[in-house]
Structure 1
Amino acid sequence: MHGKGTERDRRFAKHAVLAALSAVALALPVTPVHAAAIKNEVAVFAALDKVTGRIQHLEIPINQTVEFGALRVTPRVCNTRPLQEKPDTASFVEVDEVKLTGEQQRIFTGWMFAESPGLHAVEHPVFDVWLTSCKMPIGGVPAESAENEAPEEQPEAAAAEPVPAPAPPPAAAQPARPAPPPAARRQQPILPWLQR
């Protein structure tokens, strides 16, 4: 009897240790591994003139300034993620307002996110500006996305041959029309005095 109690205690201790290790493993934070951000040469913004209601798309090279109405927009950085990951497009932007006196006043400095345009957009009484995307990755298109986006090249001989036009689709059968109601079942107009 002395041996059974010890065996039971060992099994209990073994299960307790496994349960404790499982709890510790589950408590450890799981951090996803992200690829390095892709730096881009151009930031693309949408700008709304609230007076005219027109939206303009601004493609601004990094560290260059473009004027939109009384605003001067200068992107400093524009980063994206590889195509295989969740979209994450962000740009660090400085926006100045040019007053009627000619002086500039900084009205926005910070990060804009294309996936959350309302989060950090420039809201001005007359103009709104928000990030829509980044273009022209520095160093070209990353290798993994170049394979996905590259058009298939055809040999010169195949490209020179004319491709026959596809055959037109067969004529669709006209749907059957419902039979006209019998004369006895025709409904009278609801407002007969409006009928002429």
Structure 2
Amino acid sequence: MTVMRSALAACILALSASAVSAQQVETAEGSGAEMRVLDKLTGQVQDVTLAAGDSRRFGRIEVDVRNCRYPSGDPAGDAFAFLTVRETGIADPVYRGWMIATAPALNPMDHPRYDVWVLRCTTS
């Protein structure tokens, strides 16, 4: 029992030490976001650029970009954007949250017809 407690304590100590030593990346705010929109029914793909605060309709959905951020000093780096996606005739958004360009599956939009993912932030 004492061995198990010691092992548990060692694991907790190791986890807390790694959490403390994790680097926090400073970010800069982009002026908007570049995204890719896929209509799964027709196979049509569109790359679009939206300024922060703008929205655009694609078929039956409307995509709104509130914010796009990227690592300071590296505009081509790993962008993440806050998106809201609404479907025509439905009050609640079908997606609302942060989407990461290099890992869209971490917080994906779940829609039977459309896929939307962030490619990068715009800086001007």
Give runs of ≥4 in structure 1 deviating > 3 Å: none
TM-score (norm. length: structure 2): 0.75
Identity of aligned residues (%): 28
In structure 1, stretches of 5+ residues that fail to align are 1-26, 138-196
Equivalent pair of 1:114/1:132 in contact (CA under 8 Å): yes
**How many corresponding residue pairs?**
106
Matches within 5 A, 1:101-120: 104-120=91-107
Q: Hey, what's the Cα distance between the residues in 2 that align with 1:32 and 1:124?
A: 34
Equivalent pair of 1:121/1:131 in contact (CA under 8 Å): no
Matches within 5 A, 1:158-169: none
Query: Which residue of the partner structure matches residue 55 of structure 1?
Result: 45
2:27 maps to 1:40 = no
> Cα offset for 1:31?
3.5
Matches within 5 A, 1:71-86: 71-81=61-71, 82-83=73-74
Query: Which residue of the partner structure matches residue 121 of structure 1?
Result: 108
Q: Which has the higher contact order (CA 8 A, sep 6+)?
A: 2
TM-score (norm. length: structure 1): 0.49
> Cα offset for 1:69?
0.9
Q: Hey, what's the Cα distance between the residues in 1 that align with 2:69 and 2:101?
A: 10
In structure 2, stretches of 5+ residues that fail to align are 1-16
Backbone CA RMSD of aligned residues? 2.3
Task: Please tell me whether Structure 1 or Structure 2 has the larger radius of gyration of its CA atoms.
Answer: 1
